Amino acid sequence: MIRAQLALLPGKPGVYRMLDAKGQVLYVGKAKNLVKRVSSYARSHGLSTRIRRMVRQTVALEIITTHTEVEALLLESNLIKRLKPRFNITLRDDKSFPYILITGDHAWAQIAKHRGARNRQGEYFGPFASAGAVNRTIAALQRAFPLRSCSDSVFESRTRPCLQYQIKRCTAPCVGRIARPDYDALVDEVREFLRGQSQTIQKKLSERMQAASGALDYETAAVYRDRIRALTAIQARQGINTGAVGDADVIAAHQEAGQTCVQVFFFRSGQNFGNRAYFPRHERGVPVGAVLQAFIGQFYADRPPPATVLLSHPVGQEALIAKALEVRAGGKVSIASPSRGARRTLIEHALQNAREALSRRLAESASQRKLLEGVAKLFGLENQPERIEVFDNSHVQGAHAVGSMIVAGPEGFAKNAYRKFNIREPGLEPGDDYGMMREVLTRRFKRLIKDDEDRSRGQWPELVLIDGGAGQLKAALDVFADLGVANVAVASIAKGPDRNAGREEFYLPGRTPFSLEPNDPVLYFLQRLRDEAHHFAIAAHRRKRSAAIGVSPLDVVPGIGAKRKRALLHHFGSAKAVEQAGLADLEKVPGISHAVAQVIYDHFHGSG
């Protein structure tokens, strides 16, 4: 097939996609010359085992030509990130990074954590490696620069200072406890600090403290002393700091046992904004430089790169990659792999963190594999399960019922595969746990049969674990019999006498219920799975219940907007009272005409 396509391919830059018999994308690649690059797959020698497997499964080839190789590289990165092809090196963590925002759309600026599209007016500082890093920095900044962190609506409604003022984390501009020029000066100082001028700020505060002390104003001097201490605490918490970089990402990779950890440190204005570890998915034997190259393309696919990117290993095509990053950044970007000096010190620090993170992951993986082997032995599976699905329901007397599914495997909980199911079967009696379980499992496996009938995409579980006893197990078996689901083990886990943890009973088809020793590691593992499903179900139920609480019967009355709804509630006191009111009473409400009152009355009482 590939040889037949060669005659049709142009000698231009572009991106090619390898597809299997079901139309699934196996691999995405870019090329400076499409015909030369694709022709390498038609050779019978010189291909790795991984590439030979891919070629065997390829039945179709799609290409997109581009004007330049830089455009091809950008398109390749976007497609890999979106499609996650099986034979590409893929980055599995695509969470956006948080920023610190100093708002500019209110007279009194607010300091806040921000994640997502930067469409609110103000100044953004970051990115930070995690929400925890942002929260810690904001908390420390408020000790040094007591700006408000409350929302605009809370700010406008305050009539007296809040607790933040009492603990000296805010200056209470909401009730006029600070003059506007003094507050603006604090805002400017925060901006200077976040731009890397921490030494300048500390010097100013020290001078003010000395002046206040010299004037015998010891209370004011103590305030400046506390602010200086808070700034020192922020700098100490940032760990490594260096003047060797301004805005830079330090990216280091360490390989061991066929896995790679990529550690990224974020430096902005010479300050350390935290670090994060990534574990890209790839086949064994892929060189560390290739992993880093793929990582860079996907990591910056939807993030603006800084002016400098420092790498632990050369990746090849650095000039091409830098040009692609410049397109995203809108400015100059340099890529380097320093071998000495202060920048190499940063690389070595990141490498040490990568080694430690990968060691922890490998240790956890070994422990996880041992537990999965115990699960396979306990439930009579041929091999250790690669995917376990656990199901649970949550409701209060049948109201706001929600089903949950969590997924676990060799790498722990796969939270991106979790699912919730709003129970919607009209014939179910309130509180029918068996019926809810049947609905959840039916919907789950009907969809699975439709999307992955031949089980080639790795979405089928080897084990289904139900939270419940014999009744829930029978409900699951009935669903599997109706849908023709085979070769999936099913078990249920029920709390034992008095619902004591540690005395759980397990139910399997054709076996009498049994328990495990209270200190059995496999029991602890299964309890964790059950509890995770339970907590996920409760969280979904609470969100659904909270949303329902905020819904008023008046919201669905035609012609009743926010203003009329407010007038009705002020007059009658509650939606229930409005529902029970007579036509004449409704007409007495300010802003409610006879026609509108008739609409409201008919809505609740019927027009006949």
Q: Tens digit of pLDDT for each residue in 444-494? A: 999 998 887 777 777 899 999 999 889 999 999 999 999 988 889 999 998
| pLDDT-wise least confident of 60-69, 112-121, 134-143, 332-341 | 134-143
Q: The domain at 553-605 falls in which architecture?
A: Orthogonal Bundle (1.10)
Distance CA 265, CA 493 (A): 43
Contact by Cβ (8 Å): 123, 104: yes
Whole-angstrom distance, CA of residue 175 vs CA of residue 584? 44
Dihedral angle sign, alpha carbons of residues 32, 38, 41, 44: negative
* Ranges for all domains in the chain classified under CATH 3.30.420.340: 248-359, 388-548
Superfamily of domain 248-359: UvrC, RNAse H endonuclease domain (3.30.420.340)
Q: Give the 3-state secondary structure of 297-343.
A: HHHCCCCCCCCEEEECCCCCCHHHHHHHHHHHHCCCCEEECCCCHHH
User: Which of helix, strand or coil describes residue 549?
Assistant: helix
pLDDT interval class at 608 (50, 70, 90): very low
Separation in Å, CA 84 to CA 78, 255, 299: 10, 21, 13
CATH code of 2-83, in short, is 3.40.1440.10
pLDDT of residue 243: 60
Least confident window among 22-36, 119-133, 445-459: 445-459
What is the per-residue pLDDT for 382? 84
* CATH-assigned architecture of domain 388-548: 2-Layer Sandwich (3.30)
Q: Judge whether residue 551 has pLDDT over 70.
A: no
Rounded Cα–Cα distance for residues 529 and 523 (Å): 10
Q: Look at 262-271, 413-422, 470-479, 571-580 and tell me which has the smallest mean pLDDT.
A: 571-580
- What is the distance between the alpha carbons of residues 181 and 187, in angstroms, rounded to a whole number? 10
Longest dimension (CA), the chain: 91
Give the model's pLDDT for residue 402.
85
Tabulate helix, strand, coil % of the chain (nearest 5). Answer: 45, 20, 35
Q: Which residues pair with 255 in a beta bridge?
A: 260
**Which pTM value belongs to this model?**
0.66
- Token pair for residue 54? 């891919």
Question: For residue 476, what are its two tokens?
Answer: 């699951």
Residue pair 587/567 in contact (Cβ under 8 Å)? The answer is no
What residues does CATH 1.10.150.20 cover in the chain? 553-605
pLDDT tens, position by position, 223-258: 888 888 777 766 665 555 556 678 899 999 999 888
Percent of the chain with pLDDT over 70: 92
**Phi (first) and psi of residue 313, to 5 degrees:** -135, 145
Among 303-317, 402-416, 496-510, 532-546, name the one with the lowest average pLDDT.
Answer: 496-510
- HSE (side-chain half, CA atoms, 13 Å) at 42: 13
Q: Is the pLDDT of residue 29 over 90?
A: yes
Q: Is the pLDDT of residue 423 over 50?
A: yes
Rounded mean pLDDT, 60-69: 93
Q: In this predicted model, what pLDDT tens digit does every residue of 390-399 receive, in sequence order?
A: 999 886 655 6
Max mean pLDDT range (108-122, 219-233, 541-555): 108-122
